A and B are shown apart, each in its own frame.
Chain A
């Protein structure tokens, strides 16, 4: 478990993180969302004690200490390995720094490479592997020692959709193992799909924090998707409608001022008629984030 309390971080006179508070639990995945430059990497660097900070960061009840080095796994944002080493040499070296023995590494490495569908042998030079496979090897080096706290800085960037799925699968397995997992992203869809909890950060401030479902539901079912014969103007004039767009798929997307208007609209439209699409949803995380980020900028 990881607790961050009243974390403030400045570089010289420039403050980058403001009063950050959140908690990440064992066996759960926490997504850290924020635009570039909002302070995600700096937050991770603080947790890992790469930089000094003000505030408290507590791992399993105690401040970060040397005992934690072997039980964290960290995948940095900028990825590359030492091109001249073989896969085995590279992973063994990193794993040995996490306290693993050579022979353990070798058999585990082979299993991991199979699991992640890495094309290549453990005796191949890193530079002979494709970019995607190199990224996977680096993820293996992050996870091979079965860390309790896993921190992944934008783990999906630069991967094709097939590999994104493979890595999501691995992250879910690590969750089952009981690890505390944090990852950052600027693409909401991965967070929405994988995470139990979400922390949204904008210009160094937390703008939203909580369980993914709660966060969405707290905003109410203010998004309405309908398919109807009415034209745009008529849809706009339905009760409680703030805004409307006609999507490419022929479905109108309505922003309601309050979720309760849904029922009224349903009654108006369905009145003895067949209604092929009527779907009332909370806003997506992405919408919520954009709203929140917008507010914060003003």
Chain B
């Protein structure tokens, strides 16, 4: 069997078999359910001292962590500290939540296990994203365009959409795509980087590189993570189609659904668009660079830090498309709509606003595509030397050494 495929399969298996994958998929639904049903769940009694205490008022952080069996929930710091002194837990984490940021502090004698850290980061990241979105404070127009579709649905029975409705619908679909891109990059850039960094940490990579070229291994890793993304999207798609086909048969939902169904159909029809192409290529680009970020660091816990530049780029893309949506013919919008990483956000916007022609879109797409191919070519080349730099010299020194390593 092809070795790239073996690596993809192994990566996929390890990621998806993980409890945190299910968590990530169902977290949005769980959070709703949990805060509803178990508002007051009491701390459970795992007494092995390999568990770590978690102190937070937020059940959507505590509950999923407790589920992993590596964590124990505590109401406050004093209780956690007592349990720690009694030897019930090996340490504890206090999570404080401001309106914009989660701050987690760890107290303990030994540093946290990588595996435990990964679980913690996933849950905290999910929560932070929810916070970020809440803080993203969409402008009125964006809110409108997102809610347009609901307004539109209330007068459903006209068969034909008029031009302005169609434009609103396109805009709504665009925002949905953009947010999906933003979320997927946020989530999976960390996952990609952490997967690679933790593997690099085990130093098993030299054995693997004696079995296959590093470039092919890199392909396998990226492919594996993409399969994971597809799995998540597929699960959502199945859940959505379940709802779509069941809803007309459920009393109480039936009537409401009949009203919004035409809008959903229309919105789905708009998904296949320039925007989708930009989003998919953009996503691949972000994930590929996230792999590099993971390969640069020497410790798994630094992976989170190293993907920050990518996260900022998505934020830049997201916020520029928001703030420029009233003003898509500005020079900034124009420039950014050709720059890879940002063009996925800006070019679809300009298209919808009728500010860019199909030709411009094609040019931007070609730039993005060529940049992506060039990046992959370059990264495949330097990947093994990046991974084999395991001395703790900091990211830039590692990068420099890797570049020296590939020269003759």
A interface, CB within 8 angstroms of B: 11-12, 45, 48, 50-54, 66, 69-70, 72-76, 78-84, 93-94, 96-98, 138, 141-142, 151
B interface, CB within 8 angstroms of A: 1, 3, 6-7, 10, 115, 199, 202-204, 206-214, 384-385, 388, 390, 401, 404-408
| Contacting residues, chain B, for A66 (C-beta < 8 A) | 213
* Whole-angstrom distance between the Cβ of B406 and the nearest chain A Cβ: 6
Q: Residue A79 contacts which of B115, B203, B213 (CB distance < 8 angstroms)?
A: B203
Whether the Cβ atoms of B207 and A94 lie closer than 8 Å is: yes
Q: A11-B401, A94-B211 are in contact. Are A50 and B1 (CB under 8 A)?
A: no
| Contacting residues, chain A, for B208 (C-beta < 8 A) | 94, 97
Secondary structure of the B side of the interface? helix
A179 vs B295: C-alpha distance when bound (angstroms): 34
A151 vs B211: C-alpha distance when bound (angstroms): 13
Q: A11-B405, A66-B213 are in contact. Are A50 and B206 (CB under 8 A)?
A: yes
Whether the Cβ atoms of B213 and A72 lie closer than 8 Å is: no
* Whole-angstrom distance between the Cβ of B301 and the nearest chain A Cβ: 16
**Nearest chain A residue, comparing its CB with the CB of B115:** A84
Q: A50-B384, A70-B211, A93-B6 are in contact. List 10 more A-B contacts (CB 8 A).
A: A48-B209, A54-B408, A66-B213, A76-B203, A78-B206, A82-B202, A94-B211, A97-B3, A97-B211, A97-B212
| Contacting residues, chain A, for B209 (C-beta < 8 A) | 48, 50
Whether the Cβ atoms of B204 and A81 lie closer than 8 Å is: yes
Which 10 pairs between the two chains have the least Cβ-Cβ distance?
Answer: A74-B210, A76-B206, A97-B211, A12-B404, A78-B203, A52-B408, A11-B404, A51-B405, A48-B210, A80-B202
| Contacting residues, chain B, for A50 (C-beta < 8 A) | 206, 209, 214, 384-385, 388
**Nearest chain B residue, comparing its CB with the CB of A138:** B207
Whether the Cβ atoms of A74 and B199 lie closer than 8 Å is: no
Q: Residue B210 contacts which of A12, A51, A53, A72 (CB distance < 8 angstroms)?
A: A72
| Contacting residues, chain B, for A70 (C-beta < 8 A) | 211
A53 vs B385: C-alpha distance when bound (angstroms): 13
| Contacting residues, chain A, for B401 (C-beta < 8 A) | 11-12
A94 vs B10: C-alpha distance when bound (angstroms): 11
**Nearest chain B residue, comparing its CB with the CB of A94:** B207
**Can you name 23 A-B pairs with beta carbons within 8 Å?**
A11-B404, A45-B388, A48-B209, A50-B209, A50-B385, A51-B405, A51-B406, A52-B407, A52-B408, A53-B408, A69-B210, A69-B213, A74-B210, A75-B207, A78-B203, A78-B206, A84-B115, A94-B211, A96-B6, A97-B211, A97-B212, A98-B211, A141-B207
**Nearest chain A residue, comparing its CB with the CB of B6:** A96
| Contacting residues, chain B, for A80 (C-beta < 8 A) | 202-204
Whether the Cβ atoms of A81 and B6 lie closer than 8 Å is: no
* Whole-angstrom distance between the Cβ of A253 and the nearest chain B Cβ: 41
Secondary structure of the A side of the interface? mixed
Whether the Cβ atoms of B211 and A69 lie closer than 8 Å is: yes
A142 vs B211: C-alpha distance when bound (angstroms): 10
| Contacting residues, chain B, for A72 (C-beta < 8 A) | 210
A82 vs B405: C-alpha distance when bound (angstroms): 26
* Whole-angstrom distance between the Cβ of B158 and the nearest chain A Cβ: 57
| Contacting residues, chain B, for A83 (C-beta < 8 A) | 115, 202
Q: A66-B213, A96-B1, A96-B6 are in contact. Are A51 and B385 (CB under 8 A)?
A: yes
Whether the Cβ atoms of B199 and A82 lie closer than 8 Å is: yes
A50 vs B388: C-alpha distance when bound (angstroms): 8
Q: Residue A69 contacts which of B212, B405, B406 (CB distance < 8 angstroms)?
A: B212
A74 vs B6: C-alpha distance when bound (angstroms): 19
A52 vs B401: C-alpha distance when bound (angstroms): 13
| Contacting residues, chain B, for A94 (C-beta < 8 A) | 204, 207-208, 211
| Contacting residues, chain A, for B210 (C-beta < 8 A) | 48, 69, 72-74, 151
* Whole-angstrom distance between the Cβ of A89 and the nearest chain B Cβ: 9
* Whole-angstrom distance between the Cβ of A95 and the nearest chain B Cβ: 9
A83 vs B204: C-alpha distance when bound (angstroms): 11
| Contacting residues, chain A, for B1 (C-beta < 8 A) | 96
A83 vs B203: C-alpha distance when bound (angstroms): 12
A53 vs B212: C-alpha distance when bound (angstroms): 19
* Whole-angstrom distance between the Cβ of A111 and the nearest chain B Cβ: 20
Whether the Cβ atoms of A74 and B385 lie closer than 8 Å is: no
| Contacting residues, chain A, for B213 (C-beta < 8 A) | 66, 69
| Contacting residues, chain B, for A142 (C-beta < 8 A) | 207
Most buried by A among B115, B209, B401: B209
